[in-house]
Amino acid sequence: MKVLVTGAAGMLGRKFCQELAAKGVIAGRKVESLAMVDIVDSPPIESPFATHSIAADLGAPGVAEQLVADHPDIVLHTAAVVSGEAEADFDKGYRINVDGTRYLFEAIRKANNRPRVVFTSSIAVFGAPFPETIGDEFFSTPLTSYGSQKAIGELLLADYTRKGFLDGIGIRLPTICVRPGKPNRAASSFFSGIIREPLNGQEAVLPVSDTVRHWLASPRAAVRFFFRAAEIDGALVGDRRNLSMPGLSATVGEMIESLERCAGPDRVKLIRREPDPTIMRIVEGWARNLDASRARGLGFEAETNFDAIVRAHIEDAGITV
Amino acid sequence: MKVLVTGAAGMLGRKFCQELAAKGVIAGRKVESLAMVDIVDSPPIESPFATHSIAADLGAPGVAEQLVADHPDIVLHTAAVVSGEAEADFDKGYRINVDGTRYLFEAIRKANNRPRVVFTSSIAVFGAPFPETIGDEFFSTPLTSYGSQKAIGELLLADYTRKGFLDGIGIRLPTICVRPGKPNRAASSFFSGIIREPLNGQEAVLPVSDTVRHWLASPRAAVRFFFRAAEIDGALVGDRRNLSMPGLSATVGEMIESLERCAGPDRVKLIRREPDPTIMRIVEGWARNLDASRARGLGFEAETNFDAIVRAHIEDAGITV
């Protein structure tokens, strides 16, 4: 299998590449090569197959054609401008998240080998007001440019799949938590920060109230989603190619209680409450709970309690508590 | 008021322009000028205000900027490649229906006068399977490229409105019936043909079964929708800028019964049944009935029985029955 990953230097793209290197197989077949694409060079990884890094701007015309010239069997498209940045820079968001995605799909169409394309969408395609639990047939009325761009990507993915130009599966990721590393420009960044920073002995800013409820999954779950989306039989999915991924619904207060259970009360004291009206307004428009029945029925699985997410992060980050 | 109409030489665009000329006012204010844009020249109309025709390709970069250079107050965007053609010519459909729409919205954004933009979407944004009656919060899973392109236009309209770049109202038109003139390349063309051609004493081909149920409104209703969408207070509509228009749900059999009641049994004999698997497959994926509560609550109104639609066509076409 030849695998192409866009956004390979990003947190999830990189975790997927590392897991692919560890497994050596995807969709039941041996991996032959991995192309890691990002706007910057992706750091090398140790693997039993050939890898190469390509630094390229997907939003520039003509770039995508080169990426798919060797006919990858599986394309994982995670490259994107994140929510906070897409909201601040309207043009950049559309250039990367819409034009970049369309260029990629067009290049794949022209390469004419119909690979499985796993597109990372987001629960940001949903916008308030919505029912307490969002069902699989609820409409997309995003309240951010990022969500609008992801919803457009979903429509393109489904139409290109229907026309036989590619074989797409779109997965609407929950907010991924706990993200390792530094805060990013996603408005959701604090959901990871309030766990990650205290575990590192650092102060974390909480810009919303403890009662905010949100839909979450771990980086490990996201990587499992990618592998499942890469292997699943398209016939089981049918025409509706975009799936809300499973996750767990937790309030900020419940997340902090988990942190205390897993790492003690001193860590919790490192969380400083500093309400930010802009982030509060964005987060108010976000999904709180989803009924991801379709995805669960198709074999996608996530954590069912937040303690498991905190413990996975403690383990992955090699933290002593 | 300066009014700009794209697709002004098309059936609905033209009817709107004629009605605008007859009224002389829109959204409670006097019309000062009307720009009629289409890929071909729009025939002149008699009006109490200045009109001019612009033949231009909206899918070509740079064209839209010229169209909005004089800062229209109201833009009615009906220009589109229709469903049958968008399905047959994938590139043309995306070029006109997606790129053309985006160029127009971008040009409006740059002109910076925030006009009311009325975008004609379609019930083709819905794709089977769906409930017998499609509610206002049902998701868009189009089964045609045309429907995908319209759904993308809806997302753009809502995002540009949310950002304050324009003041959009998207209206999902039912299938418009009875269309005057010749059949077009829309897969839905026969819905008009089976009424229009017999009324003209000509044979009509019916490519689907009599039990096919569909969601319909007259050209008169569509023009009323345009005027209502041009004048409605955006604050009443809120963030969800795309509305399923009211219509009536009728089977082909019921439509034919209406024709017989309005014009006699001899006309009905001119309908020749010739099943077309391609059209049957497309139509199977189409909406049969909608609960257009939101639009009705916002003052949009359509016919409630098909006899009224047939009689309106007989009157508009000046046919003696």
Residue of B nearest to A94 (CA): B156
Amino acid A54: pLDDT: 98
Let me know if A14 is exposed, middle or buried by CB neighbors in 10 A (0-12, 13-18, 19+): buried
pLDDT at site A295: 98
Q: Which chain A residues are within 8 Å of B156, Cβ to Cβ?
A: 148, 152
Residue of A94, A103, A146, A160 marked catalytic: A146
State the Cα–Cα distance between residues A105 and B98, nearest whole angstrom: 15
Please state the rounded mean pLDDT for residues A275-299.
93
Of the pLDDT bands very low, low, confident and very high (cuts 50, 70, 90), residue A187 is confident
Neighbours of A133 (CB within 10 A): 14
User: Looking at chain B, which residue has its C-alpha nearest residue A285?
Assistant: B239
B189-214+248-317 CATH: 3.90.25.10
The yes-or-no verdict on residue A321 having pLDDT over 90 is no
| Ramachandran class of A101: left when φ > 0, alpha when ψ lies in -120 to 50, beta otherwise | alpha
Contact of B110 with chain A, judged by CB distance below 8 Å, is answered with no
Chain B residues with beta carbon closer than 8 angstroms to that of A140: 139-140, 155
Domain A2-176+216-244: which topology? Rossmann fold (3.40.50)
Q: What is the pLDDT of residue A55?
A: 98
The domains of chain A are located at: 2-176+216-244, 189-214+248-292+299-317
> What are B85's two structure tokens?
């053609």
Local confidence band at A208 (pLDDT 50, 70, 90 cut-offs):
very high
pLDDT computed for residue A185 by the predictor: 80
Q: Quick: pLDDT tens for A216-259.
A: 999 999 999 999 999 999 999 999 999 999 999 999 999 999 99
Inspect the interface and report whether the beta carbons of B163 and A145 lie closer than 8 Å. Answer: yes
Q: Please report the pLDDT score of residue A186 as a whole number.
A: 82
Instruction: Report which of A75, A72, A76 is spatially closest to residue A33, judged by C-alpha positions.
Output: A72
What's at A246, amino acid-wise?
Answer: P
Q: A189-214+248-292+299-317, what's its fold? A: UDP-galactose 4-epimerase; domain 1 (3.90.25)
In the prediction, which pLDDT does B172 show? 98
- B160 included as an active-site residue: no
At residue A144, the pLDDT reads: 93
* Average pLDDT along chain A: 96
Q: pLDDT at position B92, please?
A: 98
Burial B106-116 (b: 16+ CB within 10 A, else e): bbbbebeebbb
CB contact (8 A) between residue A162 and residue B152: no
Residues 119-148 of A with CB under 8 A from B: 127, 137-143, 145, 148
A274-286 pLDDT per residue, tens: 999 989 988 888 8
Comparing CB atoms, the residue among A148, A152, A158 nearest residue B141 is A158
Percent of chain A with pLDDT over 70: 100
Q: Please indicate if any CB of chain A lies within 8 Å of the CB of B281.
A: no
What does pTM read for this prediction? Answer: 0.96
CA distance A286 to A307: 22
- Topology annotation, domain B2-174+217-244: Rossmann fold (3.40.50)
Write A88-95 long-range contacts (CB < 8 A, 24+).
Answer: A88/A185, A90/A145, A90/B163, A93/A145, A93/A146, A93/A149, A94/A145, A94/A149, A95/A59
Give residue B74's pLDDT: 98
Of A138, A141, A162, the CB nearest to B143: A162
Question: Between A139, A143, A151, which is nearest B138 by CB?
Answer: A139
How many beta carbons lie within 10 A of that of residue B133, not counting itself?
Answer: 14
Q: Which of B155, B237, B242 to mutate to test the interface with A (most CBs of A within 10 A)?
A: B155
Give the end-to-end CA distance of chain B in Å, rounded to a whole number. 41
Could you report the per-residue pLDDT of A76-132, keeping only the tens digit for each?
Answer: 999 999 988 999 999 999 999 999 999 999 999 999 999 999 999 999 999 999 898
Q: Give me the pLDDT at residue A84, please.
A: 86
The whole-number pLDDT of residue A163 equals: 98
What residues contact A7, with CB distance under 8 A and at least 6 apart?
Answer: A13, A37, A38, A77, A78, A79, A80, A120
pLDDT of residue A286: 84
Which B residues in the span 224-263 are in contact with A, Cβ-Cβ below 8 Å?
Answer: 239-240
H-type alpha helices, B163-276: 189-199, 219-231, 234-237, 252-263, 265-268
Residue A152 Cα, gap to closest chain B Cα (Å): 6
Q: For an interface test with A, which of B92, B123, B152 has the most A Cβ atoms less than 10 Å from its Cβ?
A: B152
| Cross-chain residue pair A151–B148, CB shorter than 8 Å | no
What's the DSSP call for residue A42? P
Query: In angstroms, what separates the C-alpha of A151 from chain B's closest C-alpha?
Result: 8
- Strand segments, DSSP code E, in B165-314 are 167-173, 175-176, 204-206, 213-217, 242-244, 248-251, 271-273
> What is the Cα–Cα distance from A245 to B133, expressed in whole angstroms?
27
Q: What is the pLDDT of residue B41?
A: 97
Q: Given this model, what pLDDT does residue B42 score?
A: 97
Q: Out of A137, A148, A162, whose CB is closest to B155?
A: A148
Per-residue pLDDT tens listing for chain B (321 residues): 999 999 999 999 999 999 999 999 999 999 999 999 999 999 999 999 999 999 999 999 999 999 999 999 999 999 999 988 999 999 999 999 999 999 999 999 999 999 999 999 999 999 999 898 999 999 999 999 999 999 999 999 999 999 999 999 999 999 999 999 888 888 889 999 999 999 999 999 999 999 999 999 999 999 999 999 999 999 999 999 999 999 999 999 999 999 999 999 999 999 999 999 989 988 888 899 999 999 999 999 999 999 999 999 999 999 998
- Closest CB to A139: pick one of B137, B152, B163: B137
- Judged by CB atoms closer than 8 Å, whether chains meet at B239 and A139 is answered as no
Residues of A in contact with B239 (CB under 8 A): 127, 141, 143
Interchain pair A158, B148: CB under 8 A? yes
Residue A13 confidence (pLDDT): 98
How far does the CA of residue B291 sit from the closest CA of chain A (Å)? 15
Asked if residue A38 lies in contact with residue A96, where contact means CB atoms within 8 angstroms, the answer is: no
Interface touch B159/A139, C-beta < 8 Å: no
